[in-house]
C-alpha cells in the first residue's frame, strides 16, 4: 500500500498505544501488499493456475469482501485487475500507455469470477496462470477499521486516523466540537481544499483522479482502471467520497467503485448500501449526493463547487 499513516490521539499519554497501532498496520500491509514478494497476496499470485494458498483471517476477509463488491457492482470493482495494473504501472517507475494489443492480451486474465475461495481452510486460488490480485482499493480501509478497534479496546475516547486518505474519526474533537476533515479539491495540488466535513464517529474515504497519475502527450492517466477497457476509467466524476459510521473497508471499496461507475450508475449502485453515503464531485464541479447524506455537514464549500438538485436514495 505504501502510504503515510497519520494517527492523532489527543489524550494518549504513552507511546505504547502508537506502537501497537503501527505494528498492526504493518502486519496488514505485509500480508496484503503485492509490493512485498513474501506477502500472502504475492504467494497467491505466484500460485496462479497451480493451487490454493492458505492465508490469514485478515487477508481472507478482505478478499472475500472485495469479491462481494465485485459481484454487486458487476465488475466495476475488480480485485483481479492485477495484471492490467502492473502493465500500466501508474505511479511507478515504468508508467506508460500500453499498446492496445498488450491490453487485449490481458483482458482474459482479469476475471474476478476466476478467484476461488475455500472458507473452511481460509484458502484462495487464482484459476488461471498469469492472474494477479490487487487489494490496493480496499486494504487501507480494512487497516483503518482494525486500528479503530484496537484504539477503542485500549480505552481511547477520541482520535483521528488518516491512512493515506482513508480517514476514521471517533469521539469529537472537544466535548462540543466535531472533528473537521478537509476535502481536497480534485483540480489542484494537495492541500487546497474544496470544503470541510464536520465529523463525529465516522469514516470518510475518497477516490480521486489526482491521487496517482502520469501524463503523456498532455493527457492524464489516473490509477483507477475500467475492467471493460483495461484503461483508466472515463466517468463523469473527478472524485467520490463515501461516508459511514460502519466500515472503512466498505467505504474504501465503494469509493473506488463509484469512481468507475460515475454519477448516475453510482447513485443507483449505492441503493444497495443504505448505511453508506456518497458525494460525487462531477467534472462540471457539480456535487451530487445520495439522499441519506446530510449536506449541512459539508461546510466552507468553495464557491465554484455547487450542489445539483438532491437525488433520492
Ligand atoms: P483507491 O485509491 O482506493 O480508489 O484504489 C485505487 C487502487 O486500486 C489502484 O491504485 C489499483 O491498485 C487498484 N484499482 C484500480 N482500479 C481498480 C478497480 N476498478 N477495482 C479495484 N481496484 C482497482
Ligand atoms: Mg478504494
Give the pLDDT of residue 4.
85
Question: How far, in Å, is the centroid of ligand 2 from the Cα of 100?
Answer: 26
> Nearest ligand to the C-alpha of residue 66?
1
Percent of the chain with pLDDT over 70: 98
Cell of 258: 463509484
Convert the pLDDT of each residue in 272-290 to its tens digit.
999 999 999 999 999 999 9
Is the CB of residue 134 below 6 angstroms from any atom belonging to ligand 1?
yes
What are the strands, taking DSSP E only, across 9-88? Answer: 53-54
Around Cβ 209, how many Cβ atoms within 10 Å? 22
Is the CB of residue 252 below 6 angstroms from any atom belonging to ligand 1?
yes
Give the pLDDT of residue 14.
78
Is the CB of residue 85 below 6 angstroms from any atom belonging to ligand 1?
yes
Q: What is the DSSP letter of 293?
A: -
Mean pLDDT value across residues 132-159? 96
Is the CB of residue 78 below 6 angstroms from any atom belonging to ligand 1?
yes
Question: Which secondary-structure segment (H or E) carries 253?
Answer: helix 248-270
Is the CB of residue 249 below 6 angstroms from any atom belonging to ligand 1?
no
Give the pLDDT of residue 191.
78
Q: Which residues pair with 116 in a beta bridge?
A: 125
Give the pLDDT of residue 310.
62
173 vs 146, higher pLDDT: 146
Residue/partner pairs of 104-110 with CB below 8 Å, 24 or more apart: 104/230, 106/130, 106/230, 107/230, 109/80, 109/83, 110/78, 110/80, 110/81, 110/82, 110/83, 110/84, 110/227, 110/230
Residue to mutate, 1, 45, 133, 134, ligand 1, most ligand atoms under 8 Å from C-beta: 134
Residue 2 pLDDT > 70:
no
Residue to mutate, 213, 256, 266, 278, ligand 1, most ligand atoms under 8 Å from C-beta: 256
Q: What end-to-end distance do the CA atoms of the chain give, in Å?
A: 32
pLDDT averaged over every residue in the chain: 93
Convert the pLDDT of each residue in 3-28 to its tens digit.
789 999 988 777 899 999 999 999 99
Convert the pLDDT of each residue in 39-96 to its tens digit.
999 999 999 999 999 999 999 999 999 999 999 999 999 999 999 999 999 888 889 9
Mean pLDDT value across residues 96-118? 97
Residue 97 pLDDT > 60:
yes
Protein residues with C-beta less than 5 angstroms from the ion ligand 2 = 137, 252, 255-256
Residue 165 pLDDT > 90:
no
Residue to mutate, 45, 133, 136, 260, ligand 1, most ligand atoms under 8 Å from C-beta: 136
Alpha-carbon separation of residue 80 from 39, 98, 256 (angstroms)? 16, 19, 14
- Band of pLDDT at residue 312, cut at 50, 70 and 90: low
- Band of pLDDT at residue 217, cut at 50, 70 and 90: confident
Is the CB of residue 136 below 6 angstroms from any atom belonging to ligand 1?
yes
Give the pLDDT of residue 94.
87
Location of C-alpha cell 484503461: 231
Question: How far, in Å, is the centroid of ligand 1 from the Cα of 146?
Answer: 20
Question: How far, in Å, is the centroid of ligand 2 from the Cα of 107?
Answer: 22
Residue 311 pLDDT > 60:
no
- Band of pLDDT at residue 121, cut at 50, 70 and 90: very high
Beta carbons of 239 and 195 less than 8 angstroms apart: no
Cell of 144: 483503518
Question: Which secondary-structure segment (H or E) carries 15?
Answer: helix 15-32
Question: Which secondary-structure segment (H or E) carries 223?
Answer: none
Please report how many Cα atoms fall inside a 13 Å half-sphere around the Cα of residue 243, on the Cβ side: 22
Q: Is 203 left (phi over 0), alpha (psi -120 to 50) or beta?
A: beta
Amino acid at each position: 500500500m505504501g502510504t503515510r499513516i497519520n494517527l492523532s490521539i489527543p489524550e494518549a499519554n504513552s507511546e505504547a498505544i502508537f506502537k501497537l497501532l503501527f505494528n498492526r498496520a504493518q502486519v496488514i500491509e505485509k500480508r496484503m501488499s503485492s509490493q512485498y514478494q513474501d506477502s500472502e497476496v504475492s504467494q497467491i499470485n505466484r500460485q496462479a493456475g497451480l493451487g490454493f494458498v492458505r492465508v490469514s483471517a485478515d487477508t481472507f476477509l478482505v478478499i472475500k469482501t472485495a469479491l462481494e463488491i465485485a459481484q454487486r457492482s458487476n465488475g466495476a470493482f475488480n480485485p483481479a485487475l492485477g495484471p492490467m495494473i502492473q502493465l500500466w504501472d501508474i505511479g511507478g517507475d515504468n508508467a506508460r500507455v500500453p499498446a492496445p494489443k498488450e491490453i487485449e492480451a490481458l483482458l482474459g486474465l482479469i476475471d474476478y469470477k476466476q478467484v476461488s475461495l475455500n472458507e473452511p481452510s481460509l484458502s484462495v486460488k487464482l484459476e488461471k496462470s498469469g492472474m494477479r490480485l490487487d487489494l490496493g482499493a480496499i486494504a487501507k480501509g480494512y487497516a483503518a477499521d482494525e486500528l479503530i478497534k484496537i484504539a477503542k479496546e485500549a480505552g481511547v475516547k477520541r482520535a483521528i486516523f488518516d491512512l493515506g486518505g482513508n480517514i476514521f474519526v471517533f469521539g469529537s474533537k472537544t466535548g462540543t466540537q466535531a472533528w473537521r476533515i478537509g476535502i481536497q479539491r480534485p483540480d489542484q495540488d494537495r492541500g487546497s481544499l474544496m470544503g470541510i466535513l464536520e465529523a463525529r464517529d465516522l469514516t470518510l474515504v475518497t477516490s480521486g483522479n489526482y491521487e496517482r497519475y502520469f501524463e503523456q502527450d498532455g493527457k492524464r492517466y489516473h490509477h483507477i482502471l475500467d475492467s471493460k477497457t483495461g484503461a483508466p476509467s472515463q466517468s463523469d466524476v473527478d472524485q467520490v467520497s463515501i461516508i459511514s459510521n460502519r466500515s472503512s473497508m466498505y467505504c474504501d471499496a465503494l469509493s473506488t467503485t463509484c469512481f468507475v461507475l460515475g454519477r448516475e450508475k453510482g447513485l443507483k449502485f449505492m441503493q444497495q448500501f443504505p448505511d453508506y453515503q456518497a458525494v460525487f464531485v462531477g467534472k462540471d464541479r457539480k456535487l451530487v449526493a445520495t439522499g441519506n447524506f446530510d449536506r449541512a455537514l459539508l461546510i466552507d464549500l468553495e464557491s465554484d463547487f455547487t450542489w445539483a438538485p438532491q437525488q433520492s436514495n
